[in-house]
Structure 1
């Protein structure tokens, strides 16, 4: 049985970012500090994966090292157990839930990017499409971050470098993004940069979270 995942980036006023900070920032730090997670990240930095169409062959991957690298990347880009608590519930004593206490409070369509995927993780396709060098420029950890309005403005030039593409670079990135989009659905190669630019212009902070929703 597969999973359904969601990667979201939502814009909020600094006062709301402040209420999220003691809940989300320790979870992101715990995720980043997991030894196996760091090893997977370092491996992907050293060994970017080839064209995704070569990953699976009729009788499986022929190279054991390639198969191990792919498994490592899949584990890296899946929802981690710490940040997952933002959706599942932080503790029996805390009724906070990402769905009702963050996503449901976003009223403007321009204030939210979300990619919901069945049997897949949007972050995985995004990371593969942009590659490890660009991914290393992103704040937070593996799609999870919490930024004040000042931090959004400070990081925007870096995000422009990470997610700004020449026509040729965009074509290459889009070729490696295997997600299917409906006519009105925003791609992972467009939504994050739009959110940064919009939040910087509006003086708002950003919350990014990658989780399994069911």
Structure 2
């Protein structure tokens, strides 16, 4: 049975970020505190995966990733059970859900980056494309974060470092980003940095959530 996932980054004023904080921040902290999640991150950091085209087709170039390493990375970058509660309406007694109560609040499309994928996770392709050293510069845990406007400004230099590329670096990253993009659709290599720059310029905070939709 297939899945559909969504990774969204939305910009909000600090007042709304404050209402989200007690709901979302404990869930993100719980994701990063999972012992197995930390093991998976360390495993990937020590030994990044090779060209994605070798993962399942071992006839394409040298395959250096073991099945365990591949499975570990796939589990690391899947949506976690804690933040998933924000989509399922299970994180609180009032049924608060990130779709109607966060994403659908956005009236200006420039204030939202969203990547919807079938049978895959957008954060997975982004992390593989940029590698663990750059991914470690991004705040939060595996695409999930909640930042005030001040925190957006403070973290912008690190995000610029993570997602800023020379032409050669960008070509290499795009080669390892396997997602299919429709006309005008924003790439995972572009949308997050755009959102950080926009939020910093407009004095807004950011909410990032990666979930399985169904």
With the length of structure 1 as denominator, give the TM-score of the two structures.
Answer: 0.96
Shift of 1:90: 2.7
Shift of 1:2: 1.2
Alignment of 1:11-30 (within 5 A): 11-30=11-30
Alignment of 1:93-104 (within 5 A): 93-104=93-104
Give the match for residue 143 of structure 1.
Answer: 143
SS at match of 2:115: strand
Distance 1:65 1:116, change over 3 A: closer
Name stretches of at least 5 consecutive residues in structure 1 with no aligned partner. Answer: none
**2:50/2:63 contact within 8 Å kept:** no
Q: How many residues align?
A: 212
**2:145/2:208 contact within 8 Å kept:** yes
- Whether 2:162 is the aligned partner of 1:162: answer yes
Give the match for residue 172 of structure 2.
Answer: 172
SS at match of 1:186: coil
Shift of 1:91: 4.6
Give the match for residue 74 of structure 1.
Answer: 74
Give the match for residue 108 of structure 1.
Answer: 108
**2:137/2:162 contact within 8 Å kept:** yes
* Counterpart Cα distance in 1 of 2:175 and 2:12: 32
**2:144/2:208 contact within 8 Å kept:** yes
Distance 1:96 1:194, change over 3 A: same
**2:45/2:132 contact within 8 Å kept:** yes
* Counterpart Cα distance in 2 of 1:14 and 1:162: 25
With the length of structure 2 as denominator, give the TM-score of the two structures.
Answer: 0.96
Alignment of 1:57-68 (within 5 A): 57=57, 66-68=66-68
**2:54/2:63 contact within 8 Å kept:** no
Name stretches of at least 5 consecutive residues in structure 2 with no aligned partner. Answer: none
Distance 1:64 1:172, change over 3 A: closer
